[in-house]
Copies of this chain bind each other. A is one copy, B any other.
Amino acid sequence: MSDGVTGLIETQAGAEPRNGERRRGIDRVIMLLEALLRHRAPMRVGDIAKMIGAPRSTTYEIVNSLLEAEMLENVGTEGYVYFGKAMHLFGWAYSHHNAHYRRIIETLDRLAAETGETVQLCGLRGNKYVVLDCRDSPGPFRISSDVGVEVPIPWTASGRLLLGHMSEQEIRDFIPPGDYTLPDGRVIAPAEFFGDVALARQQGFSETAALADRFTWCMAAPIRDGNGAINKTLCFVLPVDTPEARRSELLALLCERATGLSLAGS
């Protein structure tokens, strides 16, 4: 392992341009792709260089290689690059390499079509929560977060389920302290969060109301793998004022479908 700087790289500015430090091309590629993912929009080569702390000459070299491989693509008239077609194909191959994932996507589609609500498939990436795929509600409300954007685990209903296999101490070591602070400045007491996790494990679902923002009611249900562990969750993102009757109906549906997707009983 490379000095375990993975945590630092994830954080915003990340690597500082330390003097005389020389990095491997592969690592540059990884940093570049992660930077593009965080930025979520085409970037110019110069900006990429700054963002990943690499010399411009090196960055040009790497970008040109990736362009040739169609892993990156020129966007717009001048100098902007973003992910390319090859990435799409690699990602598609990942999504469909097992029948289980395909069934999950079908369920996602069906849930969205039947209910008209926003549905998400969620999971962990390192010590953050990410949306893996989503179907947005066709209505005027578009409140879902973007696929691939990393969010602190305590901000989410799914996060409480995804940590179900961990002890209190493990959770304490796993979650960065700053992640208990919500976007509006409120702080979730760790003890309370541990209680939420335990409750979610016991109930087999998890709900949060107006947590990460003031407008959404989230409900999540676990998808278990062959060992009974929770790798992914299915969840609804509803307007916070959704009537209780509708909510419990949706929750029941969500749990039923998620259980149907699990490979081992609870």
Residues of A participating in the B interface, judged by any CB pair closer than 8 Å: 1-2, 6, 24-27, 29-30, 33-34, 36-37, 40-42, 62, 65-66, 68-71, 73, 75, 82-97, 109, 113, 123, 125, 130, 132-133, 147-148
Report the bound CA distance from A187 to B85 in whole Å: 30
Q: Are B93 and A92 in contact (CB under 8 A)?
A: no
Question: What residues of chain B lie closer than 8 Å to A70, measured between beta carbons?
Answer: 125
Q: Are A147 and B97 in contact (CB under 8 A)?
A: no
- Among candidates B26, B83, B93, B125, residue contacting A83 with C-beta atoms closer than 8 Å: B93
Q: Are A93 and B26 in contact (CB under 8 A)?
A: no
Question: What residues of chain B lie closer than 8 Å to A97, measured between beta carbons?
Answer: 40-42, 75, 82-83
Report the bound CA distance from A24 to B58 in whole Å: 13
Measured CB to CB, the closest approach of chain B to A63, in angstroms, equals 11
Known A89-B91, A92-B148, A113-B113; further 17 A-B contacts with Cβ < 8 A: A6-B68, A24-B25, A26-B26, A26-B29, A30-B65, A30-B66, A37-B89, A82-B97, A87-B87, A87-B90, A87-B93, A88-B94, A88-B95, A89-B132, A90-B90, A91-B91, A92-B133
Closest to A133 in B: B92
Q: A92-B147, A92-B148, A97-B42 are in contact. Are A85 and B30 (CB under 8 A)?
A: no
